[in-house]
Structure 1
């Protein structure tokens, strides 16, 4: 433990003044407005490091972080571990709103009575079944009921945590905010809310207007701003600044932050989506050939319906041998610890060199026992993997070297044991969810093998780190990429409220670190996998292309 005045940011990083102040705050609640690339996640990780290493969060107390997406929750947890180490990082709980609410239900389920009564092992499904099943939309309201009705439940939550972090707070809904109020309002727990009103893209899902002011009033929170964008290069920042000028003139970046020539912006028109797809697949091939840039540093963003808008592009990527990861299918599953465990294990068995997979695998499975027990279990696990690799080597001599992949995965699950698997996630306390994830993982790998028969390459498509990412702009929140392709910047794709759509466009643009590509096609034929209305003739969204026009890079 170190004195607060002696603490410096972990790993030698430098924080801007307001981020440093936020990281070291010990008294007041904070309402932090931070733009894209301002380092919100890093600030929260450094704040966790400060609180844990200086004893402001004293053992056995914990820190709670609540995010909106599984990816964001997982990324923050991983970053905290890197900054303050595994031992202290174990006292940092990072959940989505729904995961946090479900933990409350699972722990205090007997509080629910009458029509809300739930049996042990209840499920979450598409309809409500008395005592045995609830819908996804029921999770937060039921957690609120528990906290309102039970002083013991409220006290148990409040006595667990010294600090609560709220990430992407501009998208907080009424139910989510009510959960926060019932759980923490009027307590000495320090609250740190972080977000950006310019990135408010969840209005359609009930995001509250004026949420930061409401929170500041209810929790007496002090407002702070983080202005600096550390993500994007200068030319991209200049384009973003023009959008900010329309969204929130008070947040326009000062000239000294826009100096420099780095960053590329491209705008391309195509006659139809087939020509668009072939050109973009060739472009990604040139960007990545010879290892010049990892596939994972390329993102393809669409406003909505990625399976349809990117139908031709996915086919072109396959023809060019470019691995891609369709987040519509994979985001939730690939974020599951049990799925990650299976994929990383198989990558270690069948891949050539997989240091990242091996590190993740070891971190998931190594127990937090005393040093002798941990060392013994590590030796046992290493021997198990060595034996499995020997079996795989023999199988490689046969005509079908990958036939036994699920048998090896099953041996891993049997060796690890149910107790350790359940400990990977609170959701697995309901064993049915664990079985579901394992089954889905097997099915998904089998599907990928029909496209890519080489198991190591199929596993790469499952994982985060070796495939082009295809996702909606909404799902890209909190992520960043070297190169971003925004596909189909067309009126027919951005047809909602103009203010909301402008925010969505800004989020997409601000994911790019070095290169941004905007496209539109005159003709976008209806994909065969879509049966609803579809406009074949397309028109560019002129306002959005107008932001890019002054900053285009010569072809």
Structure 2
């Protein structure tokens, strides 16, 4: 243990004053807003380090972190482990809202009675089956019902967690906020919410308007703001500042805050989608082969409907043998712990030298050995050694799924469910494994080399195509934003402006925007406009700082 006065940020990082105030606070709640690239996740990891290493969160109390996406939850957990080590991090619980709700249901389901009663082996599925199955969307309402019914449950939660982190809080829905209020309003829990109202792009999913102010009023939270952006080059920061000038004038940084000419902003127009695709594929090939930009540092963002808008570009990328990942299909699946486990296992067998995969695989299976002293790590290691030797002799990877099946059999369900609370639904876990097999088979139909297919799936060496919504929390050296056109940004003006801000702020060094005069109707499209109109407002921000 160290004293609060002696604590310094892990890895000697320098935090701006507002961040340091939140990180080292020993009482009260905070509502922290910050722009993209301001290091919100890192700030939360540093706060966890402070709370645990100074015993401000005293043993056996715990810290609860709630995120909106599985990958964000895992990223925060990994950062906390990196900052304060595995032992202290065992008292850090990082969940999505639905995983937290399921934890409440699993522990206190007997409180549910009548129509809401659930058996101990209940599952999560597509439809509601009395006692046997609930839908994914019912997890939060069922948890709310438990908290509303039981003072005992609320007291148990209150006595478990001294601190709560709420990440990407601008996207909190009415029901999710109700869950937080029921669990922690009126307690001594120190709550830190972080987010950015300019990135509130989940309105379609019920994100609560003005949630930061509501939370600050309800929990007497102190509002603070982070301004520094550690991601983008000056020219890109000036672009973001111009959009902030319209979105939130009081948050505009003063002139001179982003001096320097580093960074590149390009606007390209085309007659049609085919000409756009040929140009972009050629540019990407040049970036990869001439500039040596890593493939995973290039992203193509589209407001919505990636399959429809990027089908010409994907054909061109395939023609040039440029690997890419359609994140609309793969991002959620590739971020699942079961997928990461199986991919690392296969890379250890078939890869030439995969130290990262070895380390991550050993970290996961060591948890299983601690669980039941079964020495599965030794058995898996021996199997990898045998299969790897056989592959080097035969160069035949046709049995790759047989090897996956061996791993699943030796680990068994009792261990696999330790990877994620959602895997307690065996149907859900089985569906993920089947979907992983289908996706890898699909990639192998385009890419015959298994290692390249595995890397393409994991995104380590592939261009990424994704919606703006899926890009939240990510960053890339080079970002292409396709179709900056009225016909795709057709929602509420403020919401679309926020979405555009999220997209451009993913770029660290280079941003390329495109629009076309026409886009032929792709197969399976429903609502589609062939003639196209550039979104002049969005493009004007870029022209101001080019």
TM over 0.5: yes
Partner residue in 2 for 1:310: 310
> Aligned to 1:179, what secondary structure does the other structure show?
helix
Q: Is the 8 A contact 2:267 2:514 kept in 1?
A: yes
User: Which of 533, 542, 545 is the equivalent residue of 1:539?
Assistant: 533
Q: CA deviation at 1:247?
A: 0.4
Q: CA deviation at 1:188?
A: 0.9
Q: Decide which moves more: 417-426 or 195-204.
A: 417-426
Structure 2 Cα separation of the partners of residues 523 and 507 of structure 1: 25
Aligned-residue Cα RMSD (Å) equals 1.8
Structure 1 Cα separation of the partners of residues 420 and 209 of structure 2: 33
User: Which of 523, 542, 545 is the equivalent residue of 1:548?
Assistant: 542
Q: 1:486-511 CA deviation, whole Å, 9 max, x = no partner?
A: 11000000001111100110010111
Q: Does 1:386 align with 2:380?
A: no
Q: 1:318-351 CA deviation, whole Å, 9 max, x = no partner?
A: 1121211112111221111111111111112112
Q: Is the 8 A contact 2:73 2:95 kept in 1?
A: yes
Q: CA deviation at 1:90?
A: 2.3
> Aligned to 1:520, what secondary structure does the other structure show?
strand
Q: Is the 8 A contact 1:300 1:487 kept in 2?
A: yes
Q: 1:87-138 CA deviation, whole Å, 9 max, x = no partner?
A: 2222221111111112212222221111112223333333322222222221
Q: Is the 8 A contact 1:127 1:133 kept in 2?
A: yes
Structure 1 Cα separation of the partners of residues 307 and 119 of structure 2: 38
> Aligned to 1:186, what secondary structure does the other structure show?
coil
Structure 1 Cα separation of the partners of residues 488 and 243 of structure 2: 19
Q: Decide which moves more: 296-305 or 359-368.
A: 359-368
> Aligned to 1:154, what secondary structure does the other structure show?
helix
Partner residue in 2 for 1:155: 155
> Aligned to 1:4, what secondary structure does the other structure show?
coil
TM-score by length of 1: 0.95
Q: 1:506-529 CA deviation, whole Å, 9 max, x = no partner?
A: 01011111111110111111111x
> Aligned to 1:525, what secondary structure does the other structure show?
coil
Structure 2 Cα separation of the partners of residues 385 and 58 of structure 1: 42
Structure 1 Cα separation of the partners of residues 368 and 155 of structure 2: 28
Q: 1:166-213 CA deviation, whole Å, 9 max, x = no partner?
A: 011111111010000001111111100001111111222221122111
Q: 1:526-555 CA deviation, whole Å, 9 max, x = no partner?
A: 111x24121111110000000001222xxx
Q: Is the 8 A contact 1:228 1:257 kept in 2?
A: no
Q: Is the 8 A contact 2:365 2:376 kept in 1?
A: no
Q: How does 1:315-394 map to 2 (within 5 A)?
A: 315-367=315-367, 379-394=378-393
Partner residue in 1 for 2:465: 470
Q: Is the 8 A contact 1:344 1:358 kept in 2?
A: yes
Structure 2 Cα separation of the partners of residues 120 and 329 of structure 1: 33
Structure 2 Cα separation of the partners of residues 60 and 389 of structure 1: 44
Extract unaligned runs of 5+ from structure 2: none
Q: CA deviation at 1:391?
A: 2.5
Q: Decide which moves more: 495-504 or 148-157.
A: 148-157
Cα 1:291–1:365 change in 2 (3 A) is farther
Q: CA deviation at 1:355?
A: 2.2
Q: How does 1:185-200 map to 2 (within 5 A)?
A: 185-200=185-200
Partner residue in 1 for 2:434: 439
Q: 1:242-269 CA deviation, whole Å, 9 max, x = no partner?
A: 1000000100012342111111001000
Q: Decide which moves more: 347-356 or 116-125.
A: 116-125
Structure 2 Cα separation of the partners of residues 369 and 320 of structure 1: 46
User: Which of 484, 497, 507 is the equivalent residue of 1:502?
Assistant: 497
Partner residue in 2 for 1:143: 143
Partner residue in 1 for 2:36: 36
Q: Is the 8 A contact 1:323 1:460 kept in 2?
A: no
